[in-house]
Amino acid sequence: AQKITQTQPGMFVQEKEAVTLDCTYDTSDPSYGLFWYKQPSSGEMIFLIYQGSYDQQNATEGRYSLNFQKARKSANLVISASQLGDSAMYFCAMRENTGNQFYFGTGTSLTVIP
């Protein structure tokens, strides 16, 4: 079974609008961390936001927030007030406390339309 599932291969959003990128995960470990990375066309991987399984509140980092629904095993990334520079590939990832591996989803390509 896939550890991380991103079901949206591509998304479009109007500039200044908010957009939600979906991510579901699969783990039986009660302690885990969820991460979102951004990959612009230049190729580098940029860390955006982190959510721990025991965190009581949803994580926020500037215009990025994480809609964490533990019972549904989902960790959707919300980008508010989209900017043209947000056009990129976005990856959801997970690390389980019991393991040393880092699992990535297949990514969502976001295009911000002027």
The reply to whether 44 sits near other proteins by the rule CB under 8 A is yes
User: Closer CB to other proteins, residue 60 or residue 97?
Assistant: 97
Do the beta carbons of residue 88 and residue 40 sit within 8 Å?
yes
Q: How far is the CB of 43 from other proteins (least distance, A)?
A: 5
Judged by CB under 8 A, does residue 45 bind other proteins?
yes
Question: Helix/strand/coil (H, E, C) string of 57-99?
Answer: CCCEECCEEEEEECCCCEEEEEECCCCHHHCEEEEEEEEECCC
Nearer to other proteins, 16 or 54 (CB): 54
Candidates 4-12, 14-22, 65-73, 79-87; binding stretch for other proteins (CB under 8 A): 4-12
Asked whether position 64 contacts other proteins by CB under 8 A, the answer is no
Beta-ladder partners of 95: 33, 102
